[in-house]
């Protein structure tokens, strides 16, 4: 979507427009008419399980694969029919793809030498990017003696030194240990904000996507399930898959019993529960259909072991089947009367008051902490202003 034209500021076309891109391999659909945009200077993460099509989409963007149909544009110009070297995009591979026989300097300057630039220009550009990615002191080191995080920075520097408009990253942190991965997430975000260019980042790790990206694309089986800001996707999943894939959500199947203003009553196997729909969502087309089959989504962190007395507070009796200590919290696994599994996160694992397996407890959650997912909750053509969302309907 282009920005609004003003007398002193021209319209900025998106860095990337992906229009109905489709791709199949041996009769198996990898991408099913995927469409979305990457705005100017945006950090966009594409997230999904293995086989969802995210890497295929990235390879098509980079020019390493050809789509069966659809159109790719960059800043208003078609790029799907031009060669890789003219797209002004660079790809950072999952395995770094460095030259092991070369030192850091030679790896970084490789693309510049192909451009046949003067030596002094190459040296200046390498020095500048090495300082930006904090590799100056390692320029004369062989890449084989570097740590995983340092090698990753070499790969990023080699991609950025040629000054691309867009950087494509294919699960760049997957080979790093947990602590280094968190550090590199911050480094990538810092680099992207400093350079002001678009990053398209492929990952299956939601913490990476949420901590770095301006918007996140959730994909499954070659299709887009949801696009939005990390907070929006986490709090308001739009499809059952998004609710299952993102966060620690409980899913209860049910049928809408009644609608009273913004309060929806849903009959589930374990009882009747209430959902409060935000006013702005009702104002923009959210209309639950009577007797419709829906999925009730409740974050595990919103389930409590005590009542607060809010209007229409949900309550249900459960049996504790297991407790899981994660360091910063305890996850309690519960079973409801109808056999439905439920999770509750206890934020204080050291309180010593957490009920153990076999205990029967009452748990509660507020109507405002529920989300409804179902084919008739949201019109397929309707987006909420300000969210830049695309929603594929589905239960």
320: helix, coil or strand?
strand
| Radius of gyration of the chain measured on its C-alpha atoms | 24
Q: Residue 288 gets which letter from DSSP?
A: P
Domain 240-373 has CATH 1.20.1370.20: no
How many Å apart are CA 386 and CA 390, to the nearest integer?
12
Q: Which of 272, 270, 248 is nearest to 344 (CA)?
A: 248
How many Å apart are CA 213 and CA 200, to the nearest integer?
9
User: pLDDT (tens digit, 9 = 90+) per residue, 272-305?
Assistant: 999 998 765 554 556 677 788 999 999 999 999 9
Look at residue 315 in the predicted model and tell me its pLDDT.
96
Q: Please, where in the chain does CATH 2.40.50.140 lie?
A: 240-373
| Segments of the chain with pLDDT less than 70 | 1-10, 279-287, 347, 349-352, 375-395
How many Å apart are CA 346 and CA 20, to the nearest integer?
44
Q: Which CATH superfamily is domain 16-228 in?
A: P-loop containing nucleotide triphosphate hydrolases (3.40.50.300)
Q: Please, where in the chain does CATH 3.40.50.300 lie?
A: 16-228
Look at residue 282 in the predicted model and tell me its pLDDT.
56
Answer for the pair 157, 150: CB distance below 8 angstroms, yes or no. no
Q: 202 has which bridge partners?
A: 46, 170
User: pLDDT (tens digit, 9 = 90+) per residue, 24-76?
Assistant: 999 999 999 999 999 999 999 999 999 999 999 999 999 999 999 999 999 99
Q: Per DSSP, which regions of the chain are E strands? A: 16-25, 28-38, 43-47, 69-74, 77-78, 89-92, 166-170, 198-203, 215-220, 223-228, 249-260, 263-268, 271-276, 293-299, 314-325, 330-336, 341-346, 360-365, 370-373
> What are the CA-CA distances from residue 354 to residues 139, 165, 304, 322 (Å)?
54, 53, 12, 11
Residue with tokens 């990457």: 38
pTM listed for this prediction: 0.85
The number of helix segments (H) and strand segments (E) in the chain equals: 9, 19
Look at residue 192 in the predicted model and tell me its pLDDT.
93
Q: 284 has which bridge partners?
A: none
Strands 166-170 and 89-92: parallel
Look at residue 148 in the predicted model and tell me its pLDDT.
87
Look at residue 175 in the predicted model and tell me its pLDDT.
76
Residue 266 is encoded by which pair of tokens? 């849903």
């Amino acid at each position: 979507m282009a920005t609004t034209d003003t007398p002193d500021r021209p319209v900025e076309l998106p860095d990337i427009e992906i229009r109905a891109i489709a791709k199949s391999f041996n009769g198996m659909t990898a991408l099913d008419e995927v469409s979305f945009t990457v705005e100017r200077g945006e950090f966009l993460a594409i997230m999904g399980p293995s086989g969802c099509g995210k890497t295929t989409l990235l390879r098509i963007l980079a020019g390493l694969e050809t789509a069966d149909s659809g159109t790719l544009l960059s800043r208003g110009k078609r790029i799907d029919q031009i060669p890789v070297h003219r797209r002004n995009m660079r790809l950072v591979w999952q395995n770094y793809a460095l030259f092991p026989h070369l030192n850091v300097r030679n790896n970084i300057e490789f693309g510049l030498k192909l451009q046949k630039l003067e030596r002094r220009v190459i040296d200046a550009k390498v020095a500048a990017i090495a300082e930006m990615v904090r590799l100056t002191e390692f320029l004369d080191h062989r890449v084989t003696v570097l740590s995983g995080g340092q090698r990753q920075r070499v790969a990023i520097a080699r991609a950025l030194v040629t000054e691309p408009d867009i950087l494509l990253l294919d699960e760049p942190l997957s080979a790093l240990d947990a602590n280094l991965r968190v550090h590199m997430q911050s480094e990538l975000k810092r680099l992207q904000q400093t350079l002001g260019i678009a990053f398209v980042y492929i990952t299956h790790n939601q913490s990476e996507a949420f901590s770095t990206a301006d918007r996140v694309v959730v994909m499954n089986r070659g299709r887009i399930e949801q696009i939005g800001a990390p907070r929006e996707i986490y709090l308001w999943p739009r499809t059952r898959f998004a609710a299952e894939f993102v966060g620690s959500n409980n899913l209860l199947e049910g049928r809408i019993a009644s609608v009273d203003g913004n309060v929806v009553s849903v009959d589930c196997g374990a009882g009747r529960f209430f959902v409060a729909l935000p006013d702005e969502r009702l104002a923009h087309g959210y209309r639950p259909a009577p007797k419709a089959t829906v999925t009730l989504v409740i974050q595990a962190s919103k389930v409590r072991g005590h009542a607060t007395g809010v209007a229409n507070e949900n309550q249900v009796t459960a049996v504790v089947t297991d407790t899981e200590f994660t360091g910063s919290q305890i996850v309690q696994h519960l079973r409801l009367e109808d056999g439905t599994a439920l999770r509750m996160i206890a934020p204080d694992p050291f309180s010593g008051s957490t009920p153990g397996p076999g205990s029967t407890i009452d748990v509660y959650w507020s109507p405002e902490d529920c989300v409804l997912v179902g084919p008739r909750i949201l019109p397929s053509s309707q987006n909420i202003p300000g969210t830049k969302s695309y929603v594929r309907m589905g239960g």
